[in-house]
Structure 1
Amino acid sequence: MVEARIRVIYGDTDQMGVVYHANYFRYFELSRIEYLHARGASYRDLEREGLALPVVEATASYKSPARYEDMLLVRPRVSEVKRVSLTFTYDIFREGGPDTPLCTGRTVHACVSREGKPTRLPEALVRLLHEAP
């Protein structure tokens, strides 16, 4: 299982002292990067091949607030791989807290060429996405 650790900084919080809702999407992104690196790949590798994986859909469900200096654990996983898209799902926990997520989310990514045209996911990437880290 891949797990990204993130310490909440003051700039991530709002006036109420909780993590601003949009920052969870940054946490999702960081965990996706860690997921790929754990499998020996990177977004940069895809870019060198002339491909990109833009987010085409993103959702988050907030269960309980994270606060300044909390250490968060983000657990990404690939939940679906199609011909030209893939879906990541995420669970965010407070380190040392109960094993119930503070936030859950999902991002859908299209595989596109430099010109922005949908293209088939590379077979090597599909294999890497399913390997255990």
Structure 2
Amino acid sequence: MVEARIRVIYGDTDQMGVVYHANYLRYFEFARGEFFRSRGGSYRELEREGVMLPVIEVAAAYKAPARYDDELVVRVWVSDFKRASLSFSYEVRRAGAPESLLSTGRTVHACVGRDGKPTRLPEALVRLLQEAT
């Protein structure tokens, strides 16, 4: 599991002063990038090798609101991977308040080549994922 920290900016909030629901998907994406970096890799490297990991499914549940200037802790981990796909799970909490579960989520990613056709997860990525589970 990797923890990524992000601060809510004013532009992330809606008229009610809470984080707009779609912004949690951005927080998930930010955490995924930190996940790869924490393991010595990057999504950019995968793309250079011709491997793309588009999101093919997303789910989010909202438990409590985050507000402007809150520091959030986004926990991310690999919850599943197969020959040509992988899934990440997420928890978003307010920093300093571990009991404050704000949101949970999951993204499923296909592994495709530059041509958009499914391909096997690269061996280096499989090793990274095995270390993370």
State the TM-score, normalizing by the size of structure 1.
0.96
1:113 aligns with 2:113: yes
User: What letter matches 1:36 in structure 2?
Assistant: F
The Cα of 1:97 is off from its aligned counterpart by 1.6
The Cα of 1:2 is off from its aligned counterpart by 1.2
Structure 1 residue runs of 4 or more that deviate by more than 6 Å after TM superposition? none
How many percent of aligned residue pairs carry the same amino acid? Answer: 70
User: What letter matches 2:116 in structure 1?
Assistant: G
1:63-102 matched pairs, under 5 angstroms: 63-102=63-102
* Alignment size in residue pairs: 132
1:50 aligns with 2:54: no
* 3-state DSSP of counterpart to 1:25: helix
Q: Distance in 2 between matches of 1:129 and 1:11?
A: 34
State the TM-score, normalizing by the size of structure 2.
0.96
* 3-state DSSP of counterpart to 1:91: strand
Match of 1:7 in 2: 7
User: What letter matches 2:70 in structure 1?
Assistant: D
- Contact persistence 1:36–1:129 (CA under 8 A): no
Match of 2:16 in 1: 16
Tell me the C-alpha RMSD between the 2 structures: 0.9
Q: Any gaps of 5 or more consecutive residues in structure 1?
A: none
